[in-house]
Structure formats: C-alpha cells, structure tokens
Structure 1
Amino acid sequence: MDIDEFWLFLQRSRQVTGDPDERLRWLSLHLAQRPPARIVDFQILLNQIRRRSDTYDMWEAANLIFGGCSTDGFWYFQAWLIGLGRDTFELVVADPDNLAEVPEVRRLAERPVSEWAQEEWPQWEALSYVAAGAYEEATGEEDGVYDAMKERGHTNQGDPEPTGLPWRLRDPKATTQRLPRLSRMF
C-alpha cells in the first residue's frame, strides 16, 4: 500500500458512511482481506501521516476547539483529522488556522461543547487500532502488526510527540495572532 492507496482507502470508507463506527467496520473488513504486509503498510503510513500533524500549533488549534485538549484528546484529534481525508488534512497541516474552513469544525462552533453529539466530536481514537484488529483477523496474531512493524524497522507511536515551540515558551496573547479565525470562532 502506498500513500495514494492509503488516502483512497480512507476516502472510500467515508463515501460508504459518515458514521465513525461504521467506517471502522468497513476499514477493518477491507483491510483484513489484504495481505498482512499491506495491513502493516497501512499502520506505518497512518503513523507517518499523523506525525505531520503532531505540532504544538496543531495542538493549540485543537485546544481552542475543545476548550482544552489533553494529550489523549490531541492524539484522537489527529486521527479524526486524517479521517477527514487528504485534501482537508493537507490544508490544515499547512496552517492549523485553516480548521476554521472545515465544515465539521464550523458546525461545532455554532454550539456549546455541551451540545455536541458523541459522533460529532473531533476525535477518532479507534482509527489508531484498526490495522491491529485487521491484522489479527487476517493472521490470528494478537498485536502481530506491531511485531511486523518492528521487523521492518518501525515502531508504533502511542502518544503525541509534538514539534515546534512548546506552549510554556509562548506568549498566550499570540494565539490570536497565530490562529485568528479559530480564536474568533471559539
């Protein structure tokens, strides 16, 4: 599986359904039908793509949207962002303030967090584990995808490791300069 196939795979799941749980079932079913090496490719690509969004600027954007975003919340947010598809992901990675253009974020900004439905939350934790489940289904090896990744020289990242200037070194007032549209929305 190459990068284009990865994105196409996610796009197809989204075309089938917008429901995150149904998308996971679709992804798991279709991944499990592929050779184990391709399932490993999927996880490696997911990690590499996620790494591109693993910045303090992106975390700050998620923090504005959520009204506070934990380490786990940011991890799940990154998966959600990938789940929105290649075009949206590239737009937002180029400038996290572009989240203000994302229809799902715009809809959330119209209501208080307390009124967000579960399926609307900008988090998709389970995407992180879909390849592991598919690999186990295909091979019978629990957590085998991670062993296969190690054999290929890759490790599975389990938490954010953001790059860029950490928050504690920033002027809090500068958030509105870096993320002006999101700051107005949230």
Structure 2
Amino acid sequence: MNTLKGLLIIIFVLSASKAFAGYDKLTKRNYEESKNEKAVILYGVNWGRRWGCAGLDNAQLQNLTFSHIDSNLDREDIALNNPAKLFSENSSESFAIIVNPGEYALIAYDIKIARTSAGASHIKGEGEGTFKVNAGEIVYIGDFGLDCAGDNPIPWRYYIKKEDFESYVAGFKEKYKFISDKQIIYRLFQTDKFGQSAKGSDLEM
C-alpha cells in the first residue's frame, strides 16, 4: 500500500468514526468555535465489567445511543461506545462533549454478558428516556452504568446529588479552565425505566 492511499484510508476511517459518534470532544478550540451554536453535555459512564451481575458471571456496558428527536435532517445520533473494553475500570468516568442543541432520546443499548466464564453474548435493547440542551448551555445529564438487581442487567442512570453538585462543578472547571466563568446546569436525563425519577427545576452553578 502506498503512502498516499494509506493516508486517505486513515482520513476516511477517522471521519466515519467521528460522524457515527455524533459529537466533538470538549477542547478549548472546539468550544471557542461552537460555543454559541452548540451545547456541551457532561456525563459519567461506568464502562467496567460487573462480576456476578444479575446472576451472570459478568456483564459490561458496551454502547448507549441517543438520537436527536427534532432534527429536520437525517437522523442524528450520539453513540457513546466503550473505549477500552478489556481494560475499563469498574468506576464511573467523567466525559464532556459538544453536541448540536435539541432534545435527544435513548434509542438503543448494548450490554455484553457472560453466563459462564466460557462464552459471551449480548443483550441489545431499545432505550427509554430523554435529555434536552439548548445552544450555549453546559449541562450535566447524569452518570450511566448497569443495574444488576433484576433477572437481566439493564442500563441505569445514576446522578450526583444536588448537594454534591458544587464540588463536581469545581472539579470540572479546574480541569477545563477555559469555561471557568460559565454556568453549569444540572438537568438530568429523564427516564422512568432506566433510573429513579429525578424531576425538578434546573440547578445552575
């Protein structure tokens, strides 16, 4: 394979990957270029393997896919994929991404399960629940992981309690100093199936 052909393939793969993901990572450059037209969402995910989950040998969240509800264009998805399936720690990791404003619905999830140590399969299902962000906002929507209490594992939206949100915001602004003067809004992903009810007015810090 010649150098030019190899470079074109790499560019195509990276472009396709970014398009499928449906978002940009929060960086100073990305934020400055889009802060008035787009929105930032903050969330956490536990991508780690859960041993003994729902009576199984183990289970691990692989993917959460959200779709833009009110897009007039082709369906616009945000695909959150497990970045390191074999090495993910069993703890929630925080993320910050830039997305187009609007309302998004959880439309699909993928959980890898092993009933024994000998083999693995997947539980794939449709989602239920929504979150909404407006242009220019920075919004915390919750933390995602697995609920292992039932017959089968399901995705679950956990969240930082409002009384602990101030310290969360302080840590976030320390990491991303270029938004240290911006308000962070506490507006959780709303669902009756994949998380405890958390309705209420927005909290801004």
> TM-score scaled by structure 1?
0.27
Task: Give the helix-richer structure, 1 or 2.
Answer: 1
User: Relative contact order (C-alpha < 8 Å, sep 6+): which is higher?
Assistant: 1
Normalising by the residue count of structure 2, what TM-score does the alignment of the two structures yield? Answer: 0.25
